[in-house]
Each structure stands twice: as structure tokens, then as C-alpha cells.
Amino acid sequence: MDADRKINNERKKSLNKNGSKEDDRLLSQLAKACHPNGELTVVAVSHAETMNNIFPQWIRLCYRKSTEEYEPYDVNMPAVLIPRKSLHYRYDPPLTERGCIVAQTYGRGLSDAGIKPYEIFCSPEMKSIQTAFNIIKGLDTSYTSICIEPALLPFRQFFPKNFQDFLISPKTYFGLGYPINREYIPFGTIAQSESLEAYNSRFVDFFTGKISKIEQKHVVVISDNSMVKITENVIMESIDDILIANKAKSFQLNSFRVKGNEVKPIKNPIMPFSRCIYHRKPQNWQEVPHKLTVPNHPDCDRIK
């Protein structure tokens, strides 16, 4: 790891000395691809909140009885999970209940903005597939399908060599009611290992080779925060760059429009999603501000 970091730092110095390699960046390459059919709006999204983000010890605590018997201990945890070995969930975690709700809300936001894609491309990971599934719930469309794309996986070196054995098959998701496009032919494959250059290149190759040729007006692409940063014309030049990107909050979003040989960032179509402004909820009606009381509530007479 130290040797890799040293090589990456030397590469960074070389880039700073020789100037940034604009031709290697995704949007520069996408502009050269020349989208042939009018305008295409691309919404790049990172997955929603996962169990690993919120409950670091959830696998140990939820599988106390056996390695295959799941038992939640928090209402933000899924009530049930697809039966599989707990080790598989370590590298392929599901969304939290809140993550599913936020994904549905974002889907509704896309619908309100007039963005209703026929296809959502996502990583083979459960968190990305569940994010896509819940976005489709929010879109409330009957025609949007999920295309599972290995080229959208996170940096391969973060996972064990047999990582593909941990993933749930598209056929299984389809059987569970997920709108999987079973006729979709993946653009990329799951590599056994990869360099940072190969990691950046496969996203560029996927967007230029697949996304640029889509004939619809809108498309949504789902992976992790690093993928979103790459669509902002950033190059992941070191492992630290990837780690820093993925430490940011979940559900990062970037939008851009492809028209002919022009690629321009656009304002995000989804309105801000604010959290509750209260630090704590009122304990009883005496603590509720008078202007917030409900006139017909039976306890209102006690509020003077």
C-alpha cells in the first residue's frame, strides 16, 4: 500500500508539472463521442445510505444466532433480508430503511423535474440495485428497467478476488420483483484486479461507448461517490482520492447534458432535501409553541 501511494504521489507531481491531462477526463472524451440523436440528460447518482454506513457492527449483532439467520435490532434496518451467508453482506450490504425512503423521494424529485428514464444503469452491488429499485418506485413508471452493469463497480482492489461469488444474480432480483432488464448485455466485466488508470478508464469507456449512444432523452447511472466525481471531470489519481470521495455523505448527484459534440454541466434537477430543523421533538403538549398547536386537539385547553 505504501509503495502504491508513493507511485501515486509521483504521478500527481508529474501531472502538476506537465499540466492536467484534459483528454483523459470523462467529459472531454464524451464530447468527442458526438451524441447523434439530439440531447441526452445524464444524472449520475451514488447509492443511498447503507447498513455498513450506519451500523458498523450490524453483521456481528444481527447474525448472533447463526451465520445465515438475520435478526434486526433497529427500525432503520430492513425487516427481512435475502437469505445468504453473512460474509456476503459484509462486502455487498443492503440499504437501510431510511436509504430506501430517500431513494424513493429522489425518484419523485426526478419525476417532478420531467426526468423519467427508460433505463437505469447501476453497479451489480445490492446497494446500487436497491437504490435503482426505489428510485423507480418514486418515479412511478411502468416502463423503467434496471440494467446491471459490471463496469460501474467501485475500485476493484477494495474487494476480495472472489467478489463476484458474493453478488446476487440478476435472475434472483428479477424473481423478487425487481424490474431487471434480463435482455441487457453488460458492457464490461468484473476484473480480477486493476490499476488506478484502468479504474478511471473503464468509466470513461462505459460512458463514451454505451451512454453516449442512448437514443432516449434521459438516463440515470448509479454507482458510488467516486463515479459521481469522475462525471464531474475529476480524475481519481490516488487511492486517497477514492477514499476521500467515498467518505462524503451518500446520494451524491451530478447532472450534465450531451448535445452533439458538446457536454455541459446543468443544474441538478432535484430540489434540496433538508433535514428536520428541530434538535429534539417536544416531550408533551405543554412544550409545544402556542402557534404550532392544533386548535381542535383535546389538550389545547391546557396550553395557556
Give the tens place of pLDDT for each residue, 192-235: 899 999 999 999 999 999 998 888 899 999 999 999 999 999 99
- What is the spatial distance between Cα 304 and Cα 302, in angstroms, rounded to a whole number? 6
- pLDDT of residue 279 exceeding 70: no
Mean of pLDDT over the chain: 85
- Topology classification of domain 21-50+95-265: Rossmann fold (3.40.50)
pLDDT beyond 80 at 121: yes
Predicted structure pTM score: 0.83
pLDDT at 7 over 50: no
Residue 183 DSSP code: T
**Residue 286 pLDDT:** 54
Instruction: Please tell me which residue, 192 or 22, carries the higher pLDDT value.
Output: 192
- Supply φ then ψ for residue 130, to 5 degrees: -65, -35
Residues 6+ positions from 195 with CB-CB distance below 8 Å: none
CA distance 153 to 37: 28
Which pLDDT score, from 0 to 100, does residue 275 have? Answer: 63
Find the helix packing angle between 26-33 and 196-209, rounded to 10°: 30
Residues 263-275, mean pLDDT to the nearest whole number: 84
- Find all residues with CB under 8 Å of 304, minimum gap 6, and list them: none
88-98 burial code (b ≥16 CB/10 A, e <16)? bbebbbbbbbe
DSSP code at position 180: B
Cβ neighbourhood burial of 304 (10 Å; 0-12, 13-18, 19+): exposed
CA distance 222 to 206: 13
> For residue 68, what pLDDT is reported?
83
In sequence order, what are the beta bridge partners of 40? 258
Per domain, the residue ranges of the chain are: 21-50+95-265
pLDDT one-digit tens code per residue, 169-196: 999 999 999 999 999 999 999 988 999 9
> At 39, is the pLDDT very low, low, confident or very high (cuts 50, 70, 90)?
confident
Select the more confidently predicted residue: 23 or 257.
Answer: 257
